[in-house]
Amino acid sequence: MVAGERLDFDDGVALLETDDVLALGELADLARRLRGGTDEVYFVQNLYVSQTNVCRVKCKFCAFAATRKQPHAYTLTTEELVEDVLRQREVTGFTELHMVNGENPHVDFAFYRDTIAALHAALPDVHLKCYTASEIHHMTTLSGLTHEEVLRELRDAGLGSLPGGGAEIFADRVRRIIAPGKEPAEIWFHVHDTAHRLGIPTHCTMLYGHVETYEERVDHILRLREQQDRTGGFLAFIPLAFHPENTVFERRGWRHTTGVDDLKMLAFSRLMLDNVDHIKAYWIMMGMPLAAIALHFGADDVQGTVVREEIFHAAGARTETEQKIEQLVRFVREAGRIPVQRDTLYNELRRWE
Ligand code: SF4
The domain locations on the chain are: 9-344
CA of 179 to the centre of ligand 1 (A): 8
Q: What is the pLDDT averaged over residues 8-34?
A: 97
Nearest CA residue ID for atom 2, ligand 1: 102
Q: How far is the CA of 305 from the centre of ligand 1 (A)?
A: 24
CATH (one of 3.30.70.2190, 3.20.20.70, 2.70.150.10, 3.40.50.620) for 9-344: 3.20.20.70
Q: Which secondary-structure segment (H or E) carries 272?
A: helix 259-272
**Average pLDDT of the residues in 264-286:** 94
If you compute the radius of gyration of the chain from its CA atoms, what whole number of angstroms results? Answer: 20
Q: What is the pLDDT of residue 310?
A: 63
How many CB atoms lie under 10 A from the CB of residue 82?
Answer: 17
Does the C-beta of 59 come closer than 6 Å to ligand 1?
yes
pLDDT category at 315 given cuts 50, 70, 90 is very low
Q: How far are the Cα atoms of 177, 180, 211 from residue 61, in angstroms, in the given order? A: 10, 11, 11
pLDDT score recorded for residue 313: 46
User: 54 forms bridges with which residues in the sheet?
Assistant: 66
Report, as an integer, the average pLDDT of 166-181. Answer: 94
> Which ligand 1 atom minimizes the distance to the CA of 101?
3
Q: Please give the average per-residue pLDDT across 91-112, as a whole number.
A: 95
pTM for the model: 0.94
Say yes or no: CB of residue 134 within 6 Å of ligand 1. yes
